[in-house]
Structure 1
């Protein structure tokens, strides 16, 4: 991990920040940039830093008012290796490499090791409460404004050093790694926390543990050193440091490796001050660290919940989200039978696009992502659940986790939205979806919905005959040359729904025996309503009269009626082709259903 260290002219003018392995960071005073609050010569956007392997590319931005110096010369650009520095104003910036492993040297025994309980800290007052509260007030912003987790940890360490004046160094640690550290004075070497202290606090005691030894010449101690402890153990305890104390406080979190706040420092008073005074000072600092840990843990839980809700919004409508956020969420997710309506939408033309884009697949992925986004938004907008993505297809359903009386209408409106938006984008030569269209199948029936999967992985989806039928109807849109097909149950319900008439219309299209099935299937086309609809109500009535004649074997009458349908209607083509293939006379075995010998 590469670290950028900023150091001003005063010891307190200092920070360390981990550089992201990808992307770039901006030094400056603008929102979103890395600020250097003590540096008056820093512009709003002054310099850009970008990691490239083990080096960092430095670039002075055009709007920067003051120069950047590297190796004694003014530069516009430079490549920084580990150990290199550059200067802006009176601030020195140094590139360091930071190992994430704790120190490997042995941990000598401390003079004192104490577990600090919550009960001990409850009665401890803060003598500088306003300052401590001001630091705590900044904690939500520390979490909210961090670009990523590493930057959040760096800011949390800054906050610890600001709130604990006696601290010389602070770190965020696990039992296996130092996630981030900083010290109040730069140039004093790497800070190596004690593995023993971390292990005691995070694994053995699971609460704050303090390691303490009196400064040289101390007059008293409430817990005298052990005779077996080496005389030099105090100076060496935190590894290469001369600290008087160190403590580790566990961070509260739901899952993941145990994390802790690690703080170490020296007593500010002269040697010989009675130890009880030091303990009072340390108890205040530990109480502050406990507050930071509790507040940070609570805020991180809220942030993670918001992140999960943001993820759920991509798959669930607001009504479903409200239920999943209730106390009954676990019960609501249990798989169970339900009356559902399923929508299966498949993108047309994508396979050809992928084949043509071989070797440059990212633009093709962006195109299919845009199409899936249109499908997802329409499903959610009309109260459905996004169950799955299958390559360039999306599966949505209605009727779970609570019954939806208008589920067929909502699914139909979602399908019309998808078709309308994709059609408009497809006709725009400048749009990423130019040339694409989609086939949509909708079917209703009894299915199992909820959290379905294995012990290792569960996803919310739907399983049963309506899913298979919706997928088959989507395939048949190619053969029947229409964009949206409905099964008979959905079509009948939509025809009978008084509230659907002004929004959508249905026409019976054909009676088929699809390949692999033995029972005939009556399919219908979903059409929009309104003055711009491709067919009028009169056209739909005429077509259905032609279909009835076709089913009854009166093909001359069917042929005559089909000629009254507008010529640009592709939905009549299959009937016309079959009638002409048989010279307007049905075969002797005619049953009214068209056999489909091959899958689309």
Structure 2
């Protein structure tokens, strides 16, 4: 009695053999006629390559010293190995499986009598046999896809549509190839509910999804041979069509049925085969339409998800493919804006009876911020309560990035200034503070296909947030760090905006002092603050840092009464009777964040 069965599988479907191994006996496996187990198709196998000996519940494989090619087992080259049921070894291009007799499902049970693979050229040459009816079925496909709310719902609808389109099919399934090439049934249905469950051919599914084109298998009928040789005893043909759904075809359409005539000697009636091939072409068309629609839906979801972050011009430059490398997180130079509503807690207390109304007002305020960020080719990051984050320099770097950030900030300031005293306006009595900083950060897209977000993180983001907080302490709407101020002073046309140095400060939690500056509107937009005023103010700041507080006081006092920036330094000078402390180092140490 045989203890094991050895199944050999070559690269081609017809290159198969099975041999029983009796306990206690040894066998020579090779390509020559002197071998006990002959594998004629593989030129990489020597005439006498290995011996196989069955004993004690295992089979020992030993390579002949004169064999020209290696023996591979468990991913390693060996000269000898011991196999148990379920193990396999490789010689050349042939894989050998060791199984117990009658084990289910056996590899041989799924060996087709005939296999037909359909590449694109073959599909084009096939003619439809039932075109009118199948076109009627295809016309239902858009409704099937659009009406499905989940993948499970789509699979249910698809299997029924395919049963309608392939009139002589008995069963349809949605199949997946999981870990270890294990076939998973996502959904299946049969034309007759009483027909019971059916088992798709693992070999057929694996070949189709791995090769990425349709494969048809035809088995001998159950009356002609052992029922073991059919994937389901009453079904004798099946094909699987992959659905292109990304880099890998991870699922497919499996259609199976019974032939109208008995197969003999490995041949099929010409008409029967033609109908099956036409059905494969119909299923290919269904798969292609599904793939195209799902890809369009994916692109629309991605575009919708990214539209809130990117200006239209940037989206256009990214293209429909949304290049993963372009959007991937990476380190780059960015200009970061942090824009916050001032006094939000106070507004919330005042609007305790109308929080929905307050939420609508805040939403409009955030809309002003994001619209200006996008208008000036920026990228919007997360909303953080009543604050908006924007940045420039990713995904595309530009010499204009810093200037665009400043233009967006000035645009936001202008809207809030114009609406502050407009009674009844949603933004009435709303003030904002903006912090702008420039430096290295990591920016990129994170998330899934269903939910995408764009983020930026690094010290420069924290600095922009700190600067925004300082705007209320220094009594100005927009603050810049030293790096950004230098870039803007050099490159921004005064007709768009101006720079005013304010102080040298050390925020709480930081170890290095920084010089902060205000971004001031142009003289045309803020005529009460002239260029002469700005020059006079900066002279006062220089005197203040140098410890000449009396002259600093006089310079700062020359500002117009409407200019609140002077209040911060004048208050400090007044507290010390216009005399710098003995240990004065020019740095104002802020007491709160």
- Normalising by structure 1, we get a TM-score of 0.61
Provide, for residues 530-550 of structure 1, a one-character-per-residue CA deviation record: whole Å limited to 9, x for no partner: 755485325545544543444
Aligned with residue 512 of structure 1, among 495, 505, 511? 505
Q: 1:417 to 1:167 in 2, by over 3 A?
A: farther
Q: 1:434 to 1:397 in 2, by over 3 A?
A: same
Q: 1:430 to 1:131 in 2, by over 3 A?
A: farther
For residue 581 of structure 1, report the CA deviation from its aligned partner.
1.3
For residue 156 of structure 1, report the CA deviation from its aligned partner.
4.2
Mapped partners of 2:271, 2:587: distance in 1: 95
For residue 431 of structure 1, report the CA deviation from its aligned partner.
8.2
Larger radius of gyration between Structure 1 and Structure 2: 2
Mapped partners of 2:569, 2:168: distance in 1: 88
SS in 2 for 1:197: coil
Provide, for residues 302-332 of structure 1, a one-character-per-residue CA deviation record: whole Å limited to 9, x for no partner: 4323432433333344565456559995665
CA RMSD of aligned residues (A): 5.1
Count of aligned pairs between the two proteins: 465
Residue pair 1:344, 1:440 contacting (<8 A) in 2 also? yes
1:404 aligns with 2:380: no
Q: Quote the residue 1:469 is aligned against.
A: 463
Q: 1:137 to 1:399 in 2, by over 3 A?
A: same
Provide, for residues 89-147 of structure 1, a one-character-per-residue CA deviation record: whole Å limited to 9, x for no partner: xxxxxxxxxxxxxxxxx999899876441056554311344664575577567656766
Aligned with residue 197 of structure 1, among 200, 210, 217? 200
Mapped partners of 1:177, 1:361: distance in 2: 50
Return 327-336 or 505-514, whichever deviates more: 327-336
Q: Quote the residue 2:241 is aligned against.
A: 249
Return 510-519 or 368-377, whichever deviates more: 368-377
Provide, for residues 401-460 of structure 1, a one-character-per-residue CA deviation record: whole Å limited to 9, x for no partner: 443112221111222344455677887898887776543211224x25455999xxx997
Aligned with residue 522 of structure 1, among 511, 515, 520? 515
Provide, for residues 485-523 of structure 1, a one-character-per-residue CA deviation record: whole Å limited to 9, x for no partner: 01223223323335x322223222222233344554221
Provide, for residues 144-170 of structure 1, a one-character-per-residue CA deviation record: whole Å limited to 9, x for no partner: 676665565566456535543445775
Q: 1:205 to 1:519 in 2, by over 3 A?
A: closer
Q: Quote the residue 1:503 is aligned against.
A: 496
Q: 1:171 to 1:356 in 2, by over 3 A?
A: farther
Q: Quote the residue 1:126 is aligned against.
A: 128
Q: Quote the residue 2:529 is aligned against.
A: 536
Q: Quote the residue 2:12 is aligned against.
A: none
Q: 1:122 to 1:332 in 2, by over 3 A?
A: closer
SS in 2 for 1:301: helix
Q: Quote the residue 2:50 is aligned against.
A: none
Mapped partners of 2:569, 2:271: distance in 1: 97
Pairing 1:138-537 to 2, within 5 Å after superposition: 143=145, 149=151, 152-153=154-155, 156-157=158-159, 159-161=161-163, 163-166=165-168, 170=172, 172-174=174-176, 175-179=183-187, 189=193, 194=198, 196-197=199-200, 199-203=202-206, 205-206=208-209, 208=214, 225-229=223-227, 237=234, 247-254=239-246, 258-263=250-255, 276-318=270-312, 320-321=314-315, 324-325=318-319, 329=323, 332=326, 338-349=332-343, 374-386=368-380, 393-420=387-414, 437-445=431-439, 447-450=440-443, 462=456, 465-497=459-491, 500-517=493-510, 519-529=512-522, 533=526, 535-537=528-530
Return 114-123 or 568-577, whichever deviates more: 114-123
Pairing 1:72-111 to 2, within 5 Å after superposition: none
Q: 1:337 to 1:130 in 2, by over 3 A?
A: same
Mapped partners of 1:179, 1:373: distance in 2: 45
Residue pair 1:335, 1:449 contacting (<8 A) in 2 also? yes
Provide, for residues 339-369 of structure 1, a one-character-per-residue CA deviation record: whole Å limited to 9, x for no partner: 43222334545677899999x9999998877
Q: 1:146 to 1:353 in 2, by over 3 A?
A: farther
Q: Quote the residue 1:577 is aligned against.
A: 571
Residue pair 2:133, 2:165 contacting (<8 A) in 1 also? yes
> Where does structure 1 lack aligned partners over 5 or more consecutive residues?
1-105, 214-221, 239-243
Residue pair 1:251, 1:259 contacting (<8 A) in 2 also? yes
